[in-house]
Structure 1
Amino acid sequence: MTVSTVPPEEKAAAGRPVTLGSYVSSYFGKVRGGDMGALPAISGLIVLVIVFSIARPVFFSKANFANLLTQGAAVTIIAMGLVFVLLLGEIDLSAGFASGVCAAVLATLLTTHGYPWYVAVLGAIVTGVVIGLVLGTLVAKLGIPSFVVTLAAFLAFQGAVLLLIKGGTIIAVDNPTIKKINFDGRFTPTQGWILFAVTVLGLLAVHLWKRRGRAKRGLAVEPMSVIALRVGAVAVLLGVAVYVLNLERGRNVLFSQKGVPMVVLIIGVFLLLWTFVLGRTAYGRHVYAVGGNKEAARRAGINVDAIRISVFVICSGMAAVGGIIAASRAASVDPNTGGSNVLLYAVGAAVIGGTSLFGGKGRVLDAVLGGAVVAVIENGMGLLGYESGVKFIVTGVVLLLAASVDALSRRRAAAAGLS
């Protein structure tokens, strides 16, 4: 038995399109075959933005746009880590409170013990890595289902947060460096445009490098027109975003609030890092292989247990980063940090973005797109004055629709012989 170590997006080599028309035709053929990629998430995001903008024009204001980015940052980061676990068909129900534990470690080291910010950040991330190592070992080596292990951790971590912050105490996070992460840190307008230029040129360079490499190996390459359209669309979207964020959105002339929030760069760096890991390394291909068929991957010589442990380490490590971002935004840590709807929204973000609950299909970009959908729903319905109960119901319905699309897509792909 053999196993493919190629990610799903690389499996469309049948048509080998060389013109824009044939490329578009091939894309719609994949959609009809059940491989819709990020299309549902992007379509839903566009519809939600239009609806909320019409119903509540303030939704489209520059101040609210910046608020959307900072509001959904922690959930998006945690969802990035969950993508790795979901790719194996596993689940981590403890990711939310794991972020709370790491945030509590950060706040305790900073405030209670007076350590420098970099020691506190390192302590929080190491805590997340250790948590992932323990969870992954229990799942991979002892064979305990991930649902049971992480459910137990979900309960235990709630108690750990209470112990770390002494019951119901709220620990303030006043360190200026930490607060710049997602509270009051912004790039200057010039720095924002420099980041824009670097991002667009970097994206173009990656596409051209990939195209050149495939051409050297005699493989199908994307038409230059497709690359131009893709990079151009990203450039337009990012350019508009930077322009809007560089406008003054503060009401106090003494305290300027213009500029791209620093947390955007953090999200972008992790998006680039994990996309490279999944798409361009042997490790990433092994993750997809194990998620697609664990036994076939084992027979192909892949260390399945090591892969299973590693995804939990990545997930909890990213939960730690999410906890740091959440602590920065709130400028404090309390018993609810990482609790409430954090886990639900993070899992929802990954699934809504297009990551399959069945394993073997997904990208880190899915977490960003899904995180945007979740943030728009929560923010837009809040502006419309709906209660939390209504927000949960709507988000749950959207998650159910995303899971249904995933299930139907897999059924159609199986019927078409594409999986």
Structure 2
Amino acid sequence: MSSDVQQTAPVPPQLDRADVRVKHEAGIGGAIRRFFDRVRSGDLGSLPVIVGLVIIWTVFASINPIFLSSSNLVNLLFDCSTVGVIALGIVCVLMVGEIDLSVGSISGFASAMVGTLWVNQGWPVALAILAAIAVGGFIGALYALLFNRLGMPSFVSTLAGLLAVLGLQLYILGSTGSINLPYGSNLVNFGQLLMMPKFVSFGLAAVPGIVMLVTGLRTVARRRAANLSAPSTGGLITRAAVITVILELIVFYLNQARGIPWMFGLFVGLVIAMHYALTRTKWGRSMSAVGGNREAARRAGINVRLIYSSAFVLCSMLAAFGGVLSAARLASASQQAGTGDVNLNAIAAAVIGGTSLFGGRGSAYSALLGIIVIQSIASGLTLLDLSSSLRYMITGAVLAIAVIVDSLARRSRVSHGRA
């Protein structure tokens, strides 16, 4: 045999592609077929809410072009921030198959605490905010104690908490019923006026694409090291580039008006942090396991009580923080704070965004997408000068559709063995 002919060992097949009985799709066509297969099997993800959002924006923009103006969208971002933070907490309790009906009252009580401690008692504003959030965490710990130790359903305990915390809010506000926060203070400016500098907003818009590319490349490297199939590097770069371009164009459009509020940037930052915690940490995987099957999670060695406690505490703390942001936005703490449709919008945003009422399935981005849907409906009807009664009816209808879609998707997952 000639010396220049080298013998090469055959490349072993990738472990997840070794079974010839399993169909493996490749290329763009294969990716499209895999997408439709997931949809047919009930793995819808954020597809329904994105489709719904496109329909809502198309309808309102066709009726009133001002709806998609940059100035109106900036106002929309302001409105999304406060209730969106509360909805993010609702995602946590829904993930474990429970509910918290008192988030509105907790947010109103937190705003009243900030006003009382800061304005009436002379506390530093930062200390007043920390105290309000800590009290919110204490209320959540109390719900967890009632649930874990006494077996009280979360529906009942949080309904009782709704009434009790509302009473506390009315008590500390006293006969005046409201406290005006110092207008022009840093907190009020943060809630009403502070916008990101343009270079900061453009820089932050590039972060998601960079993070997606870095984490994707790390995943590809680990899978190839384990002799598993992995997506192509070119595909990862293309997806990251497309997302970055879209976000940069959105930021450019919003900067034609006032720009992007720091308050909304804070909300998105919390969403990203929660998404990482739910998808990349042991705690997040335990949340999904407990919500999917509590007994199976317990037998797998998960501290179920601790997971429930973390969900309730985190939900109440985020509700309190949402109340602080609401006080900053309105420059006041009043008896009306946290009442009305705050509970409805927070819970509806989480469900409409894709978090399952049955537990075990959800995403931090549910709060972001869901609150954008709800506030888009409110903004569109306001521009059309229609009654607020229509907003309640339309939001209720959208919520009912979201639950129906979730129920049908769950049945489909069960029938396809993916539940």
Q: Provide the TM-score with structure 2 as the length reference.
A: 0.91
The Cα shift of 1:307 comes to: 0.7
* Contact map agreement 2:206 2:247 (CA 8 A) in 1: no
Residue 62 of structure 2 is aligned to residue 57 of structure 1: no
Does residue 1:232 correspond to 2:232, yes or no? no
Answer yes or no: is the 8 Å Cα contact 1:351–1:403 preserved in 2. Answer: yes
Q: 1:126 to 1:193 in 2, by over 3 A?
A: same
Q: 1:21, CA displacement in angstroms?
A: 2.5
CA 1:104–1:221 in 2, change beyond 3 Å: closer, same or farther? farther
CA distance in 1, matches of 2:236, 2:189: 35
Q: Which residue of 1 aligns with 2:142?
A: 134
Deviation at 1:226, TM superposition (A): 4.2
The AA in structure 2 aligned to 1:77 is V
State the match for 2:331 in structure 1: 331
Match for residue 148 of structure 1? 156
Residues 17, 264 of structure 1: CA spacing in aligned structure 2 closer, same or farther, 3 A cutoff?
Answer: farther
**Unmatched tracts of structure 2, length 5 or more:** 1-21
Measured in 1, the distance between the counterparts of 2:342 and 2:191 equals: 17
Among 160, 173, 179, the alignment partner of 1:171 is 179
Where do 1:347-358 residues align within 5 Å? 347-358=347-358
- With over 3 angstroms needed to count, the CA separation of the structure-2 counterparts of 1:305 and 1:402, relative to structure 1, is same
Q: Which one of 211, 214, 231 corresponds to residue 202 of structure 1?
A: 211
Q: Which has the larger radius of gyration?
A: 2
Q: CA deviation at 1:338?
A: 1.2
3-state SS in 1 of match to 2:98:
coil
- Closer, same or farther: CA 22–179 of 1 in aligned 2, 3 Å: same
Residues 1:120 and 2:128 are matched in the alignment:
yes
Root-mean-square deviation (CA, aligned residues, Å) is 1.7
CA distance in 2, matches of 1:215, 1:274: 28
Contact 2:136 2:319 in 1 (8 A): yes
In the other structure, the counterpart of 2:292 is: 292
Partners of 1:223 and 1:178 in 2: CA distance: 47
Gapped regions of structure 1 (runs ≥ 5): 1-13, 250-257
- Distance in 2 between residues matched to 1:208 and 1:114, nearest whole Å: 52
**Partner residue in 1 for 2:231:** 222
Structure 2 letter corresponding to 1:275? H
Confirm or deny that 1:364 pairs with 2:364: yes
The answer as to whether partners of 1:179 and 1:185 remain within 8 angstroms in 2 is no
Residues 191 and 325 of structure 2 are in contact (CA less than 8 Å); yes or no, is this contact kept in structure 1?
Answer: yes
CA contact (8 A) 1:286 1:307 kept: yes
- Deviation (angstroms), 1:140: 1.6
Could you tell me which amino acid in structure 2 is paired with residue 373 of structure 1? V
CA distance in 1, matches of 2:322, 2:227: 42
1:111 counterpart (113, 119, 140):
119
8 Å Cα contact 2:223/2:229 also seen in 1: yes
Distance 1:180 1:220 in 2: 51
Correspondent of 1:182 among 181, 191, 200: 191
- Picking from 77, 83, 98, the partner of 1:90 is 98
Give the AA of the match of 2:119: T
The normalised TM-score by structure 1 is: 0.91
Q: Tell me, what secondary structure is at the counterpart of 1:417?
A: coil
> 1:272 deviation in Å?
1.6
- Does the residue aligned with 2:266 lie in a helix, a strand or coil? helix
